[in-house]
Amino acid sequence: MTEASNQIYRPPFSYPSEDDTAYLDHFAGKFSSVFIALNPFLRLPDHPPFKNSDPVPDSAIQDALKLGPSCGVSWQEVAELCGFASIHQVNRALRLTGSKRISTRYASQHETDHMLGICAARSIYPPDEGCSSPLLELSLGSFAKAAGHDSLISAGHFGSFPEELQVATLLDRQTEHGCVELWAEDKSLYCAIYIDYHYFLICQSDESLKQVKPRDYFEGFYADGRTNDFWGVGNFSGNELQKKRLTSQRPKKENPR
């Protein structure tokens, strides 16, 4: 690989390393907009119920790719089914699925059990943590195409193993890629999810935002000057979050390289 290629593939951005760092502060000078894109749930009645701590089966992922958006379940719908006040509670309930690397003081086992019971009764699979769901991946492909990109750089967590990815492959309903980090070569776009989370940060420059709006492709919301990774954990007062540090049960966000 040439020196020029190394410059292209070297990760130019990173996910915020601290939970209380506001997204817009972290990306200041690089991106003017950060959109929190929520990984869709999947309604798949022909598959066995979801078991907590198990990943979504490959067979379910393949069927979701074939079915496309018709099998998607939004966080808002899940919140309504569960009687939650907002999608914030859905996020908190999801944090005790998968790795469960969060203190129960800042999550809610009752809410998690309630949500999973509702999902099991309705053949709904929660999204896996730390990677794109098959439906969000299809949306990423459509979004990147609308933004004028034929290819992106795809990498694992912390920008590991970067490689060029053709946007058309994200729209291929035969194969799931499990995207973690994506960025445009011109640095106008960066999409990333952290290891334990169920949502992506869609970061855009002013020029990119003029071309395409993430709200047209993803369920979610725009970050304001205070939004950080505390938006969906801890104790709520209405829809507001009392910002508390997580305990040592959660690994510190560090680049291990």
Whether 10 and 255 have beta carbons less than 8 Å apart is answered as no
Residue 222 to residue 214: CA distance in whole angstroms: 9
Q: Dump pLDDT digits (tens) for 81-93.
A: 999 999 999 999 9
Nearest to 200 by CA among 184, 219, 186, 216: 219
For residues 198 and 82, state if they share a domain: no
In a domain, 210, yes or no: yes
The answer to whether residue 1 sits within a structural domain is no
Please report, as a single letter, which amino acid is at residue 217: Y
Burial class from Cβ neighbours inside 10 Å (0-12, 13-18, 19+) for residue 223 reads buried
* Residue 236 in tokens: 């709520």
Residue 233: which pLDDT band, with cuts at 50, 70 and 90? confident
pTM beyond 0.95, yes or no: no
What percentage of the chain carries pLDDT values higher than 70?
87
How confident is the model at residue 238, as a pLDDT?
36
Structural domain count of the chain: 2
Using the 3D structure, point to which of 78, 97, 127 is the last residue of a domain: 127
Q: Are 1 and 227 in contact (CB under 8 A)?
A: no
With CA atoms as reference, report the closest residue to 82 among 73, 144, 5: 73
Beta carbons within 8 Å of 79's beta carbon, 6+ residues apart: 85, 86, 87, 89, 90
96/178 same-domain check: no
Residues 48-69 pLDDT 10s = 888 777 788 889 999 999 999 9
For residue 78, which amino acid is it?
V
| 254 assigned to some structural domain | no
Strand order in the sheet with 199-204: 163-166, 151-155, 181-183, 189-192, 199-204, 33-38, 220-222
* pLDDT tops 50 at residue 107: yes
Domain interval for residue 174: 17-37+131-222
